[in-house]
């Protein structure tokens, strides 16, 4: 019997009957990869378990303490001056919403405390910018 050979991209002759086999192998490999890859965010505990099971030292605790330090620096105010700058936002819901919107629109984290304390008339500028689109 005669077999039909086809020249592949690399220049080697291969029988045409290998094409379905290659397709099957490629499909199995893709399915194996796709079942392990997920686009959803993982649980908080899952990475810690994976990190601690793969290494003898404890980098998970280092990562967690770093995140806690970052979070506390953002949420808690280290001194009274910082707290006084944002005190008005904590007391007045409308001012808080205005300053958060202004901070988000300008993409600057320093705008929020300046707006809350109306430093350099930032709150007035934010009100004109956020609600009326005036950029002067």
User: Is residue 22 located within the same domain as residue 78?
Assistant: no
User: Is 97 within a domain?
Assistant: yes
Report if residue 21 sits inside a domain: yes
68 occurs within a structural domain: no
User: Could you tell me if residue 49 is inside a domain?
Assistant: no
pLDDT mean over 117-132: 90
Residue 127: inside a domain:
yes
Q: Would residue 134 count as lying in a domain?
A: yes
Judgement on whether residues 79 and 23 belong to the same structural domain of the protein: no
Which range of residues forms the domain containing residue 21?
Answer: 5-31
Q: What is the pTM of this model?
A: 0.42
In terms of domains, do 135 and 80 share one?
yes
Nearest CA to 98 among 136, 133, 126?
Answer: 126
For the purposes of burial, counting CB atoms within 10 Å of the CB of 114, is it exposed (0-12), middle (13-18) or buried (19 or more)? buried
Taking the C-alpha atoms of residue 108 and residue 44, their distance in angstroms, rounded to an integer, is 28
Alpha-carbon separation of residue 35 from 41, 42, 117 (angstroms): 15, 15, 52
111 pLDDT above the threshold of 80:
yes
pLDDT band at 103 (very low <50, low <70, confident <90, very high): very high
Q: What is the pLDDT of residues 1-33, one digit of tens each?
A: 566 655 555 556 666 677 888 889 988 888 877
Does 93 map to a domain?
Answer: yes
Sign of CA dihedral 109, 111, 117, 120: positive
Q: Report the domain count for the chain.
A: 2
């Amino acid at each position: 019997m005669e077999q039909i050979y086809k020249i592949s991209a690399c220049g080697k002759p291969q029988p045409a009957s290998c094409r379905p086999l290659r397709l099957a192998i490629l499909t199995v490999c893709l399915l194996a990869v796709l079942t392990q890859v997920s686009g959803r965010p993982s649980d908080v505990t899952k990475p810690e378990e994976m990190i601690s099971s793969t290494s003898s030292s404890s980098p998970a605790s280092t990562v967690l303490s770093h995140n806690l330090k970052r979070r506390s620096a953002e949420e808690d105010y280290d001194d009274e001056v910082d707290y006084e700058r944002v005190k008005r936002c904590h007391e007045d819901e409308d001012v808080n919403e205005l300053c958060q919107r202004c901070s988000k629109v300008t993409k600057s984290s320093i705008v929020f405390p300046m707006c809350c304390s109306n430093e350099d008339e930032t709150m007035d500028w934010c009100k004109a910018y956020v609600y009326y689109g005036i950029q002067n």
